Amino acid sequence: MKRTRNALVLGLVAAAALVATAPAAAQSETIRLTMSSSHPTVVPWVGALKTHVIALSNQRLESAGSKYRIQWNEAFGGVLYDFNNTLEAVEQGVTDMGWVGALWEPAKMPLQNIMFATPFVTSDEEIAVAVMNKLTDTVPAMKAEWERYNLVYLGATVSDTYHVFTKSPVNTLDDLKGRKLVAATALAPWITAGGATHVNAGLPAFYQMLQTGVADGTLIISTGAFSFKLFEVAKHITLVDMGVTTIGGFAVNGGTWKRLPEDVRKVLSALGREYSSVHAKEVKARVKKSLDAMVAAGSTMRALPEPERKRWVDAMPNIAKEFVDANAAKGVPAVDIMKAYMREMRAHGARPLRDWDNGL
């Protein structure tokens, strides 16, 4: 009888506890948000939006004591828009938030493309995002490039360093003379300084162009070469390490951001900044895996000697000054921005092969 009475008491206590917590659960409010990208989640800077931002958002809200929870609608892999509409899609509210590819917006977001004007500065992805995040936080002109298009910037994205993939070996810079290298438009000054001819095309066309002889090689990130199997038609990998580039960022539609409660904004801001570091580490890890896999598949790999790398960067026109002059003509304090950028790079541990802030 005593045991039964004790069990009854415990049951009543448990029931009372459930009743006590019921109002708190009923008070939680759901916020529906759409996270999108033109690229699939296999791409590190897209995948981390799902595995870090989305995955941890409600945990963080709960830990902070927030009454809000997010119901996520995921629209990755170009479900809502193509790669050339990433800025407009977030700007116009086609999606609440997502990855914005600034590399395709040189006219609208020139300052976000500063690393394409400063090759051979750093090969460290984590340094690159740290510097870009700091500059965008502290330099009004850089922050304005996002705000002008109704975007709230939460964190930078980065790709890995650039190497050369060719059909025949490259041992010195002279071996590039007369060769045709297919690459993105922004890389043209890099290629021509090395003595090669730049062939412009989009990445999906590279394989066929190499296969048919339209191009003799390509200047590309190793993860891209692996993903598109370019090593099958350009088996000679020359490690040039021309530097990593930030390529855009994680951003939220301005209207969406204003409607979000303060505690939700706080959680997303923290996750956005963490996202920069998380995906940068993933990019770094994938570089070695990609190179190892291509060598295992039959590619040959050699490093361009350091004196040849120095020859290459010294042969380049002063593209940093061209960048500064073009932006200064629009009223942007471009000289100060370039100097701040190089100063921050060195402060974060980068060792530039060329001091692009000299001669401005």
In a domain, 230, yes or no: yes
Q: What percent of the chain has pLDDT over 70?
A: 93
> With 80 as the cut, is the pLDDT of residue 84 above it?
yes
In a domain, 115, yes or no: no
pLDDT band, residue 17 (cuts 50/70/90): very low
Quick one: pLDDT at residue 129? Answer: 98
**Quick one: which of 353, 303, 304, 300 has its CA closest to 174?**
304
Predicted confidence (pLDDT) per residue in 166-203, tens digit: 999 999 999 999 999 999 888 999 999 999 999 998 78
In a domain, 34, yes or no: yes
In a domain, 18, yes or no: no
Q: What is the average pLDDT across 213-242?
A: 96
Q: What is the average pLDDT across 305-313?
A: 97
In a domain, 153, yes or no: yes
User: Are 137 and 229 found together in one domain?
Assistant: no
In a domain, 8, yes or no: no
Predicted confidence (pLDDT) per residue in 263-298, tens digit: 999 999 999 999 999 999 999 999 999 999 999 999
User: Are 179 and 42 found together in one domain?
Assistant: no
User: Are 232 and 177 found together in one domain?
Assistant: yes
Final residue belonging to a domain, choices 286, 316, 338: 286
Predicted confidence (pLDDT) per residue in 338-360, tens digit: 999 999 999 999 999 999 999 89
Quick one: pLDDT at residue 24? Answer: 42
Q: Which residue has the tokens 């071996």?
A: 175
Say how many domains are in the chain.
Answer: 2
Predicted confidence (pLDDT) per residue in 92-151, tens digit: 999 999 999 998 899 999 999 999 999 999 999 999 999 999 999 999 999 999 999 999
Structural domain boundaries, residue 228: 162-244+288-347
User: Are 89 and 192 found together in one domain?
Assistant: no
Quick check: 231 and 299 in contact, CB under 8 A?
yes
Quick check: 218 and 225 in contact, CB under 8 A?
yes
Predicted model pTM? 0.87
User: Are 252 and 321 found together in one domain?
Assistant: no
In a domain, 181, yes or no: yes
Quick one: pLDDT at residue 9? Answer: 38
Query: Can you give the CATH number for the domain in which 46 is found?
Result: 3.40.190.170
Long-range contact pairs involving 333-338 (C-beta distance under 8 Å, separation at least 24): 333/141, 334/111, 335/360, 337/111, 337/114, 337/135, 337/139, 337/141, 337/142, 338/114, 338/118
User: Are 293 and 281 found together in one domain?
Assistant: no
User: Are 255 and 201 found together in one domain?
Assistant: no
User: Are 131 and 270 found together in one domain?
Assistant: yes
In a domain, 58, yes or no: yes
User: Are 317 and 269 found together in one domain?
Assistant: no
User: Are 73 and 199 found together in one domain?
Assistant: no
Predicted confidence (pLDDT) per residue in 28-55, tens digit: 899 999 999 998 898 899 999 999 999 9
> With 90 as the cut, is the pLDDT of residue 302 above it?
yes
